[in-house]
Amino acid sequence: MIVYNLACDQNHPFEGWFSSPIDFENQRDRGLVECPICGSKTVERKLHAPRINVGAAPSNREQAVESATQADGDIDTAKLAQAVAGFVKGVRENTEYVGEKFAEEARAMHYGEKPHKGIRGRADQETARELREEGIEFQSLPFPVDFPNSH
């Protein structure tokens, strides 16, 4: 995975994880990349250098992102890292990893064959398009989804 520094047309900086530069371009052109602060889909890559940020999870994701934005509009990267860590922790604790069976499981829940629950897994772009055409709602995650289940 490649981690890109991104910014929307309102100059809100954020990171995105992509399998390749072409993957970023394709997702952006299809309107799948949006600013987590304002929701703008006008997003561009910025210069970046590799880095790792870790931190404890805040109790409220929106509050954490808001507090990470300083009065001058700059982002406090440590606070933002805490917000992201909290989001990842929430996904881990509230979903089950189903791997390559993501589409099968999502369809089964959508069509009432299985009870609804939070899942995460993998789907290629064609399968993701088919799921959306069927009205199955899901969100692509900006980080690897195949981390172990934990509660």
Task: Give per-residue burial for 45-58: e unless 16+ CB within 10 Å, then b.
Answer: eeeeeeeeeebebb
Residue recorded with tokens 């929106």:
62
Q: What residue ranges do the domains of the chain occupy?
A: 1-51, 56-94, 95-151
Helix 77-94 / helix 61-68 crossing angle, nearest 10 deg: 160
Which tens digits make up the pLDDT trace of 86-124? 878 888 888 888 989 999 999 999 999 999 998 988 888
Which tens digits make up the pLDDT trace of 38-93? 889 999 988 755 443 344 444 455 555 555 555 455 667 777 778 878 878 888 88
- Secondary structure of residue 74 in the 3-state scheme: coil
- The lowest-confidence range among 2-6, 48-52, 132-136 is 48-52
- Secondary structure of residue 20 in the 3-state scheme: coil
Euclidean distance between CA atoms 109 and 134, whole angstroms: 12
Give the DSSP H/E element, type plus range, for residue 121: strand 119-121
